[in-house]
Structure 1
Amino acid sequence: MHPRNLNISDFTYPLPEDKIAFFPLEQRDQSRLLIYKNGALSTDIYQHIDQYLPAGSLAVFNNTKVVEARLLFKKPTGGQIELFCLEPHESYADITTAMAQQSRVLWLCLIGGASKWKNGQVLQLSIPDQPHTIVLEARFIEKTTDCFVIELSWEPAFLSFAEVLHKAGQIPLPPYIKRKADSKDAERYQTIYARYDGSVAAPTAGLHFTEAVLQKLAQKSIQTDFVTLHVGAGTFKPVKADTMKDHEMHAEFIAVKPALIKKIMQQKDAPVIAVGTTSLRTIESLYWLGARLLRDAHCFDNQFPYLHQWDAYEATLQNFSLKESFSAILNYMEQRNLPELMAKTQIIIAPGYSFKVAAGLVTNFHQPASTLLLLVAAFIGEDWRKVYEYALENDFRFLSYGDGSLLWRKYP
């Protein structure tokens, strides 16, 4: 069956509220780890994950950094309007360029209390800082289908937008964590290796990793490397359509360096493990971007590389080897002297998907009837029900601050 015809009601399960983790554990690597391999299930903790990965494996992490995307403005009358900064306006080449803007920027936002924002009114926010007070202003530009275009401007003008968000914003916790973010969330809703500003949600599988765990991986000759996928709020977008053909998948920015592409190509006898669905989505997207180049070497000449929702299911893209596809990407980058591949991916990974790169997946437990659960079902088949039933029966903690799993496909 083509994933277009999947019914989302077939991918749900009962999730009692008391199974949702509203706070993180004190120690990251003490989170419980469910191991699924060849149909068998067992339990351990993340501190020991090295014991379940073979030497020579390549673990790929997402080093995106969650930005303080919630901005709270006070109206002169005392009312509050919240801006949730989703992603940059299309006028910017990529999210890194947009984050580096000084003085002003255009951003796509959700607005809490939009009806209270009078036409033409400029919202202002002052943040005491040394040696200058930061003054941030918001102007309404236009409404789009799903959000609003807002112009944000600030003084001192030499500050980048990333710096302004760090000073003025708040960490945006997922909507199902029904509490206000506190000071601890600023650290714990961030991986220890987070580097590049741009996400509005954490790549949560990575929240369990500590320096000690990474050292244990290195001691066992398990390689680690990084991709960047900036997680958008669309990751929480509910599937409201009955069948997936009527659901528009969210698109996200990715960035990958050529060294990782070459490293994956060299993994002939040991598995590639994606740490998180975002890492999985990124490394799988690489194959399809390369396949598109093999089909048409000029397909990205006049546009930002973009992978559409159903590209991975086109028959004409299926028959290239990983080496052919990745070589096409490296040639594309070399011809343009690109230090990294920057693209946008909208692919949906659901049952019926043909995996090209990842043999293992480290991931948390996801919401019922979500695209992330579809991804898990694509990865391990109908056994996703067995995994989730086991997790519920054995009191695993669910969702972003919860426990996680190591899931294996059969490695060829």
Structure 2
Amino acid sequence: MRVDLFDFDLPPERIALRPAAPRDAARMLVLRGADGVEDRGVADLPDALRAGDCLIFNDTRVIPAQLEGMRGAARIGATLHKRLGLRQWQAFLRNAKRVRDGDRIDFGAGVTAIAGPRDEDGGVSLSFEGEEPVEILLERAGRMPLPPYIASKRPTDERDREDYQTLFAREDGAVAAPTAALHFTPGLMERLAAAEIATETLTLHVGAGTFLPVKADDTDDHRMHAEWGRIDAATAERLNAVRAKGGRLISVGTTSLRLLESATGEDGVIAPFEGETRIFITPGYRFRAIDGLMTNFHLPKSTLFMLVSALMGRERMQSAYAHAIAEGYRFYSYGDASLLLP
């Protein structure tokens, strides 16, 4: 399909620069079936679902993956996006032309790394020196990797260390938050439990590739980035049991959805999974694992807008996004939510 079919105009003032406070005070656009739009709030989620449904969250934790350093007199920026080994990460570099294989970059606070060769995607491997775990080095020298559409409008600050982390974050490794889950609070979780709505977690370490633009003119020519994920056997068994009892599996975020679909066979059975996925979901895809999706509002011509268009229909999503823009919904990572129930 042509990529420009997924374009739309978004006024810059609709981009949220801070999350709602409290988190579950965000708005939520609900789409059910082929037509109908409901303007609700995230706090209404227990009433929008049914007893026996199951929400699936991503428990990845965002690491302070943005670093600023020096290679000699040259200022170098680095965004880590994929772990390669115990002390080695793949990174996108700013001012990369000033860095050669074997150069040492000093990121301050006693944090240094040796650059490796450049790969076909333009990334560079960084091998961190010393014996301290890389996670400790990043906590000392790194910043939260806010998406470019926020970072270009304001600097990262200490509030983002908490704001850009979900209630479920426990597995270090993401360089972008699974943002649909940013809306959840302990109080909302209690109300969901009281409504007999189950919850499960899986792990998908979201990479910086999620923000890369689609440069191809046709979706067939786009190469999807890889991300590592895991669904253990016990979780897969419980999710299959929900389906067997007539409950619906509602993915909280496109990251959970992509991992679930990667782990599910043609028979609709979710299997244990551990490894990388490059699944790219566009209209025409037949969903096997999920019955609904809670997600934020996505960028024009992005792979994520293509995914929601595959779930609900491209024209329906174009219409829904036009409604959201007209009604003042807040877009992107810190913005409002949508609940999509085909």
> TM-score surpassing 0.5?
yes
1:343 partner letter: G
How far 1:72 moved relative to its partner?
1.1
Q: 2:331 maps to which residue?
A: 398
Q: Residue 75 and residue 252 in structure 1: after superposition, are their counterparts in 2 closer, same or farther (change >3 A)? A: closer
Matched, 1:375 2:314: no
Task: Output the CA distance in 2 between the equivalents of 1:239 and 1:154.
Answer: 35
How far 1:76 moved relative to its partner?
5.0
Query: Out of 2, 9, 26, which is 1:7 matched to?
Result: 2
Query: Out of 171, 187, 194, which is 1:219 matched to?
Result: 194
Assess if the C-alpha contact under 8 Å between 1:31 and 1:403 holds in 2. Answer: yes
Task: Output the CA distance in 1 between the equivalents of 2:21 and 2:5.
Answer: 36
Q: 2:259 maps to which residue?
A: 282
Assess if the C-alpha contact under 8 Å between 1:60 and 1:273 holds in 2. Answer: yes
Assess if the C-alpha contact under 8 Å between 1:108 and 1:147 holds in 2. Answer: no
Q: 1:60 maps to which residue?
A: 56
Deviations 1:134-168 (A, max 9, x none): x222212211112343343333x1x2222222222
Query: Out of 171, 196, 205, which is 1:230 matched to?
Result: 205
Query: Out of 228, 234, 250, which is 1:273 matched to?
Result: 250
Matches within 5 A, 1:383-394: 383-394=316-327
Matches within 5 A, 1:18-29: 18-29=13-24
Task: Output the CA distance in 2 between the equivalents of 1:232 and 1:153.
Answer: 19
Q: TM-score, normalised by structure 2?
A: 0.94
5+ residue gaps in structure 1? 1-5, 90-97, 128-134, 292-319, 331-340
Query: Out of 240, 243, 246, which is 2:218 matched to?
Result: 243
Assess if the C-alpha contact under 8 Å between 1:57 and 1:270 holds in 2. Answer: yes
Task: Output the CA distance in 1 between the equivalents of 2:214 and 2:40.
Answer: 32
How far 1:16 moved relative to its partner?
0.9
Q: Residue 81 and residue 278 in structure 1: after superposition, are their counterparts in 2 closer, same or farther (change >3 A)? A: same
Assess if the C-alpha contact under 8 Å between 1:141 and 1:148 holds in 2. Answer: no
Query: Out of 170, 178, 181, which is 1:195 matched to?
Result: 170
Query: Out of 161, 172, 176, which is 2:149 matched to?
Result: 176
Q: 1:95 maps to which residue?
A: none
Matched, 1:17 2:5: no
How far 1:359 moved relative to its partner?
0.9
Assess if the C-alpha contact under 8 Å between 1:123 and 1:139 holds in 2. Answer: yes
Deviations 1:95-114 (A, max 9, x none): xxx4xx3xxx2221111122
Task: Output the CA distance in 1 between the equivalents of 2:213 and 2:26.
Answer: 27
Q: Residue 216 and residue 356 in structure 1: after superposition, are their counterparts in 2 closer, same or farther (change >3 A)? A: same
What SS does structure 2 have at the residue aligned with 1:176?
helix
Matched, 1:84 2:16: no
2:179 partner letter: T
Q: Residue 139 and residue 188 in structure 1: after superposition, are their counterparts in 2 closer, same or farther (change >3 A)? A: same
Q: 1:208 maps to which residue?
A: 183
Task: Output the CA distance in 1 between the equivalents of 2:338 and 2:101.
Answer: 49
How far 1:248 moved relative to its partner?
0.4
Matched, 1:166 2:162: no
Q: Which structure would you say has the larger Rg?
A: 1
What SS does structure 2 have at the residue aligned with 1:322?
coil
How far 1:51 moved relative to its partner?
0.8
Matched, 1:123 2:105: yes
Assess if the C-alpha contact under 8 Å between 2:102 and 2:116 holds in 1. Answer: no
Task: Output the CA distance in 2 between the equivalents of 1:276 and 1:120.
Answer: 39
Task: Output the CA distance in 2 between the equivalents of 1:233 and 1:389.
Answer: 27
Matched, 1:252 2:227: yes
Q: 1:110 maps to which residue?
A: 92
Task: Output the CA distance in 2 between the equivalents of 1:406 and 1:283.
Answer: 18
Assess if the C-alpha contact under 8 Å between 2:176 and 2:208 holds in 1. Answer: yes
Task: Output the CA distance in 1 between the equivalents of 2:210 and 2:100.
Answer: 31
What SS does structure 2 have at the residue aligned with 1:34?
strand
Q: TM-score, normalised by structure 1?
A: 0.78
Q: Residue 118 and residue 257 in structure 1: after superposition, are their counterparts in 2 closer, same or farther (change >3 A)? A: closer
Deviations 1:203-223 (A, max 9, x none): 110010111111111111110
Assess if the C-alpha contact under 8 Å between 2:105 and 2:115 holds in 1. Answer: no
Assess if the C-alpha contact under 8 Å between 2:60 and 2:172 holds in 1. Answer: yes
Q: Residue 140 and residue 35 in structure 1: after superposition, are their counterparts in 2 closer, same or farther (change >3 A)? A: same
1:322 partner letter: G
Assess if the C-alpha contact under 8 Å between 1:7 and 1:242 holds in 2. Answer: yes
5+ residue gaps in structure 2? none
1:257 partner letter: D
**In angstroms, what is the RMSD of aligned CA positions?**
1.6
How far 1:126 moved relative to its partner?
3.8
1:181 partner letter: T
Task: Output the CA distance in 1 between the equivalents of 2:78 and 2:336.
Answer: 30
Q: 2:287 maps to which residue?
A: 355
1:35 partner letter: V
Matches within 5 A, 1:35-54: 35-38=30-33, 39-54=35-50
Task: Output the CA distance in 1 between the equivalents of 2:119 and 2:311.
Answer: 35
How far 1:118 moved relative to its partner?
6.3
Q: Residue 119 and residue 161 in structure 1: after superposition, are their counterparts in 2 closer, same or farther (change >3 A)? A: closer
Task: Output the CA distance in 2 between the equivalents of 1:76 and 1:121.
Answer: 9
How far 1:75 moved relative to its partner?
4.7
Assess if the C-alpha contact under 8 Å between 2:88 and 2:126 holds in 1. Answer: yes
Deviations 1:301-351 (A, max 9, x none): xxxxxxxxxxxxxxxxxxx4224xx4xx45xxxxxxxxxx31111111110
How far 1:119 moved relative to its partner?
6.7
